[in-house]
Amino acid sequence: MTARRAAILSAGAAGCARLLADDEAATLRALAEHLGLVASCVRRCGGRVVDELSDGLVAEFASALDAAACAARLQCEIEGRNAVVPRERRLRWRIGIDLGDVATEGHAVHGPALDGAARLEGLAEPGGVWVSGAVYDQVRGRLDPMLGCLAERPVGNAPETLRAYRLIPGGAPR
């Protein structure tokens, strides 16, 4: 196992169950296209996909700034793609980003940053991005999208609190 510090981005499509129930074939096609877009954006921003899920993925970045810039770019690209899709058929994504120590074994990545990113993704509204305090500390003043604090609060089932900030996409690194 190799240990290092990394930014982890967890992204999931919101409302997939409802869309699948309405039109499974069309939703699966749209989801495959979106997952391709997300994975491509991750690679363009210097990250790598470490886990693919049926309706999302987990990616690793060397820096919090790269992960946050990717999330902002990704949400803008998805909104642009959704502009031509009927509102009730749009796939919107929730994204969470945490920074911490991770260990790799082969291509698998393990560590508390994965759990933190997943918990932050769970906070995000469709089309939203939430970052941990550790990510905020790294990108504050270096990223055009605004970051707004929501104070320290428990997230998910974890006993400790996690500073959570909402990233409002729309810019790029300064």
Q: Is 173 part of a structural domain of the chain?
A: no
pLDDT of residue 132: 92
The rounded distance, in Å, linking the Cα atoms of 53 and 46 is: 20
- Residue in this structure with the two tokens 């959570």, named with its chain if needed: 164
Q: Is 69 part of a structural domain of the chain?
A: yes
What residue type is assigned to position 1 of the chain?
M
pLDDT of residue 148: 64
Phi, psi of 129 (to 5 degrees): -135, 130
Q: Is 174 part of a structural domain of the chain?
A: no
pLDDT of residue 165: 87
pLDDT of residue 37: 93
Domain span including residue 46: 2-168
Q: Is 160 part of a structural domain of the chain?
A: yes
Contact 18, 126 (CB under 8 A): no
The one-digit pLDDT tens for each residue of the chain (174 residues) are 778 899 999 999 998 889 999 999 999 999 999 999 999 999 999 999 999 988 999 999 999 999 999 999 999 999 999 999 999 999 999 999 999 999 988 778 889 899 999 999 998 999 999 999 899 889 888 876 666 665 555 566 666 667 788 887 654 444
Q: What angle do CA 57, 61, 64 make, to 5 degrees?
A: 110
CATH number, domain at 52? 3.30.70.1230
Structure tokens belonging to residue 36: 């391709």
Number of domains in the chain: 1
